[in-house]
Structure 1
Amino acid sequence: MEHEEYINRVTQFIKLRKNEEEEDRKKLEEFKKITNYISGQYDQDASYQTLREYIEKCENERGVKDGQRNRVFYMALPPSVFIPVAQGLKRNVYTTEGSVRLIVEKPFGKDTDSSNHLAHELGKLFKENEIYRIDHYLGKEMVKNIMNLRFANVLFGHAWNRTYIDNVQITFKEPFGTEGRGGYFDEFGIIRDVIQNHLLQVLTLVAMERPISTDAEAIRDEKVKVLKCIEPIRIENTLLGQYVGDGDKPGYKDDESLKDKDSLTPTFAAVACFINNERWEGVPFILKAGKALNEAKVEVRLQFHRVAGNLFGSSARNELVIRIQPNEAVYMKFNNKQPGLSYQTITTDLDLSYHERYTDLAIPDAYESLILDVLRNDHSNFVRDDELERAWKIFTPLLHKIDNRESDVEIKHYRYGSRGPKELDDFVKKFGYHRENANYEWPRQNVNPASNKL
């Protein structure tokens, strides 16, 4: 690319704030002036040496002193070149005159063996505290809020266990399909693309024990302990699906970039896993993710047990919902007497919607937050090597079954724009979730008592 083409490419999606456009335009122009593009080949030392010379020239022009020549390398690249690029950087651009930080974008391998190989090769080149395996879900506002909800509130802290919670669902829904990315997606599938990383990371935060401090390693230690308590996913605890066309919406196999027109790669998956420890024994954690569904949504839903000896037998279970996106929110579904002369019990909610409560506060993009963490040398929201290994061990046997098209692997079809396979409701019900009062609305009385005299 030419320099101008590069600048246009990296700035075209930068949004200017309302009422701050003029100030933001000035900042954007300043950003462009210090943003540069050096072309080179992944596997040629000469390219990295050109990069090093350019970096040193910039450092000298800016008067950067020895000991402060800090460098961050961000590898958002095809996984096949992670290792050669890391080797080229270490041989030619690594510095001992400041800190070095290497950001690695997923996927971190395709299974346990490939992930361990990547970790081993990177470990030979960079120290673990120099490596930042980035999962952008850990930078999302509501994911980072899970620890505050759990450990800063007595109410939630005491109810956060198998005594009160019947099941947990972590859901990821996209309203669009692969849209020309079928060739890439077919190599990974929805489990590798979303569940093994994003949703499993959210699960560890929901399920982990209280860390001894907010130090990065203390938090990551507890996340690893949770993963060690989860056995590999069994095929009978899995529902797999692939979307088909609906009207003018094409099916997965209609994607022109897809090479294997007989592909059995799942575009939808629901898996149930169990954490075998004192807090969570017997509580199913249901992880669901899919493309070409009916809406865009990511949420955590904790459904509580029914009230024992309930006076109001038809009342629904309580649910605590953490909506990660869109429109960040935390709300509790609870039962209440319908106002007025009726004694009917209705379901309503205690609702903290961020766009209503925090109107003057801007929520940063996940990557914005995580890159700032890198600059601060904070590993709290990044994946450690042993954490990654344990995560892959949970899913690798299932993934190999799917890859090998074993006889007990069944792919259900679902329509583009639907909620997923029709078997989904029975699947979650099997693990204890009851979709009660799914379409409840705020109550509206027919008569205003104040306007009517006896």
Structure 2
Amino acid sequence: MKTSISLNPTIIVIFGGTGDLNLRKLAPALYNLYAEGYMPEKFAIIGTARRPLTDVKFRETLMEGVNSFSRTGKVHKEKWDNFSQNVHYNPIDVKDSASFDTLKDTLDKFKNEFGPDTQIVYYLAVSPDLFPSIAKRLAKFKLAENEDNCRIVVEKPFGKDLETARELNEILRERFKEKQIYRIDHYLGKETVQNIMAFRFANSFLEPLWNRNYIDHVQISVTEQLGVGDRGGYYDGSGALRDMIQNHLLQLLCIIGMETPINFDADEIRDKKVDVLKAMRPFSAEDIRFNTVRGQYTKGWIRGDEVPGYRSEKDVDKQSNTETFAAIKFFVDNWRWKGIPFYVRTGKRLSQTSSLITIQFKDVPHQVFPASVAEHWQQNRLIISIQPEMSIRLQVQGKRPGLDMTLNPVDMVFDYKGTYTTESPEAYETLLLDVMTGDQTQFMRADQVEIAWELLMPVINAWESKKSLSFPNYAADSWGPEDAEALIARDGFHWFTLPLNKD
């Protein structure tokens, strides 16, 4: 398949080329883009890291990553041979200025070969503490001067609090234009997440219902069965609030809550998301006490295997105060959403790995049917399943077949697997293509990042300043601490989960 997208010759420089992110995500995504005809006719992928490697050894390492982690399985030999001829390795110590002289020579060689329209993408797949060093040296050696043809991709975490996010933004803004900076959140590249806007704004029946008059509440729930694994050192300095809610879940909330954009221009869409963040109710000390819940898992059993508690995980402080679960009730104080709660939760070592957005509509204003015929009456729900199932379902009441009038909930389902035969691309494939085409729609702008941090800093500060005396407070393979159920139950609701298919 060939794409109708016309791409200029492109050089992609991956700082952290031998790292886990490149092997698991970036290399498989770039190979799949090539295999399906979405790469430029002329391109070069340059991996960088400190250790010396030959091009051949680097290509072999990437092939192992693609074979292990690509959605399409093992590489097609002829396609891989053609693709890998464009893959190169350039050893660099990002703290050593002399290394960037070598990189400049390499880039000049490819630019001379590809022509004056060549664009360069710098992908920072490295530890966040290296972002400033790389940005400063790219500017010092004039490797990103052409603002139309040079882009820099920055992975999360984007800062660890409001102050560090502002500092990083300032460092980048001094050296790059905002249109060059792509702050990547892979959640925004997921197929179902992108379909939320299509579902909302391409269907006329939804807009009249998408407000406080018809919606009772909204739930956004991203849960994992996995623990922290080998990320204990990083996670213990982060926690669920920073790792998931500040970026992924708040971005999902913005897509659900945003006003209709005038057009599909990147800044127009991001303006509407920022408006949601600006309208979100700040947290007072009382709000933190009653509208937030934190938790930390203890040992238990997952799928028949005994798993350790968080404080027994590798590289985790034995007295850690870091939360592995967080649930928060947000309010968006504008005309559309005033008074409607948005419940958000995320956690590790929970009973199910899933990402669900549930919009529950208000009940019918007058019950026509007697209670005896509504066997399992429930309010209408719109359920957007991001993973593992990719679907959008509307739960309505229907009559059960038979001579009696008996009502029960039924689902009207749009299921990706049942509707389309083509396989959905991975999030990184979508986002890398967006970077090459210069589309910033699915990438966070500086003000988005800072406002999200500003909103959550009172909660972060309160949790860090006061050690939880209840940790650990939920068992592995549970749905989190009891207080999380109380948080939503106080308002007469309960957390919704979608039964997973057994096949």
* TM exceeding 0.5: yes
The correspondence for 2:390, drawn from 328, 344, 354, is 328
Mean CA deviation greater in 239-248 or 121-130:
239-248
Distance in 1 between the 2:258 and 2:106 partners?
45
The alignment's TM-score, normalised by the length of structure 2, stands at 0.82
Decide whether aligned partners of structure 1 residues 232 and 37 sit closer, same or farther in structure 2, where only a CA change above 3 A counts: farther
Aligned to 1:396: 457
Distance in 2 between the 1:437 and 1:424 partners?
14
8 Å contact from structure 2 (residues 144, 151) kept in 1: no
Aligned to 1:26: 78
Mean CA deviation greater in 244-253 or 207-216:
244-253
Following superposition, the deviation at residue 21 of structure 1 comes to: 6.8
Aligned to 1:9: 61
The correspondence for 2:246, drawn from 189, 196, 199, is 196
8 Å contact from structure 1 (residues 112, 392) kept in 2: yes
Does residue 227 of structure 2 align to residue 166 of structure 1? no
Following superposition, the deviation at residue 269 of structure 1 comes to: 0.5
Decide whether aligned partners of structure 1 residues 417 and 8 sit closer, same or farther in structure 2, where only a CA change above 3 A counts: farther
Following superposition, the deviation at residue 96 of structure 1 comes to: 4.5
Tell me the amino acid that sits aligned with residue 38 of structure 1: N
The correspondence for 2:133, drawn from 81, 84, 93, is 84
Distance in 2 between the 1:365 and 1:17 partners?
7
Distance in 2 between the 1:146 and 1:410 partners?
38
Does residue 471 of structure 2 align to residue 419 of structure 1? no
Tell me the amino acid that sits aligned with residue 274 of structure 2: V
Following superposition, the deviation at residue 404 of structure 1 comes to: 1.9
Specify the SS of the correspondent of 1:265: coil
The correspondence for 1:42, drawn from 94, 97, 114, is 94
Distance in 1 between the 2:397 and 2:455 partners?
37
- Identity across the alignment (%): 37
Does residue 185 of structure 2 align to residue 106 of structure 1? no
Following superposition, the deviation at residue 413 of structure 1 comes to: 1.2
Distance in 2 between the 1:282 and 1:411 partners?
32
Aligned to 1:285: 342
Specify the SS of the correspondent of 1:182: helix
The alignment's TM-score, normalised by the length of structure 1, stands at 0.90
The correspondence for 2:438, drawn from 377, 388, 391, is 377
Distance in 2 between the 1:161 and 1:36 partners?
52
Tell me the amino acid that sits aligned with residue 389 of structure 2: N
Distance in 2 between the 1:250 and 1:39 partners?
39
Decide whether aligned partners of structure 1 residues 38 and 170 sit closer, same or farther in structure 2, where only a CA change above 3 A counts: same
Give the alignment of 1:43-62 within 5 angstroms. Answer: 43-60=95-112
Residue by residue, what CA displacement relative to the aligned partner does 1:134-168 show, whole Å, maximum 9, x if unpaired? Answer: 01111111111111111111221111000010110
8 Å contact from structure 1 (residues 242, 266) kept in 2: yes
Distance in 2 between the 1:265 and 1:207 partners?
29
Following superposition, the deviation at residue 266 of structure 1 comes to: 0.6
Following superposition, the deviation at residue 232 of structure 1 comes to: 2.9
Distance in 2 between the 1:304 and 1:191 partners?
28
Distance in 2 between the 1:251 and 1:5 partners?
39
Distance in 2 between the 1:96 and 1:285 partners?
43
Specify the SS of the correspondent of 1:49: helix
8 Å contact from structure 1 (residues 284, 431) kept in 2: no
Aligned to 1:450: none
8 Å contact from structure 2 (residues 321, 467) kept in 1: no
Distance in 2 between the 1:140 and 1:436 partners?
21
- Report how many residues are paired: 433
8 Å contact from structure 1 (residues 320, 330) kept in 2: yes
8 Å contact from structure 1 (residues 240, 412) kept in 2: no
Residue by residue, what CA displacement relative to the aligned partner does 1:165-196 show, whole Å, maximum 9, x if unpaired? Answer: 01100110111100121111011101111111
Distance in 1 between the 2:444 and 2:71 partners?
32
Aligned to 2:420: 358
Root-mean-square deviation (CA, aligned residues, Å) is 2.2
Distance in 2 between the 1:138 and 1:195 partners?
14
Aligned to 1:254: 312
Residue by residue, what CA displacement relative to the aligned partner does 1:225-259 show, whole Å, maximum 9, x if unpaired? Answer: 1110012343121111111001421110111221x
Following superposition, the deviation at residue 416 of structure 1 comes to: 1.0
Following superposition, the deviation at residue 93 of structure 1 comes to: 5.2
Specify the SS of the correspondent of 2:114: coil
Specify the SS of the correspondent of 2:359: strand
Specify the SS of the correspondent of 2:365: coil
Aligned to 1:69: 118
Decide whether aligned partners of structure 1 residues 253 and 434 sit closer, same or farther in structure 2, where only a CA change above 3 A counts: closer
Distance in 1 between the 2:74 and 2:272 partners?
44
Tell me the amino acid that sits aligned with residue 254 of structure 2: T
Decide whether aligned partners of structure 1 residues 439 and 116 sit closer, same or farther in structure 2, where only a CA change above 3 A counts: closer
Q: Structure 2: where are the runs of 5+ without partners?
A: 1-50
Decide whether aligned partners of structure 1 residues 105 and 348 sit closer, same or farther in structure 2, where only a CA change above 3 A counts: same
Distance in 2 between the 1:21 and 1:382 partners?
30
Aligned to 1:448: none
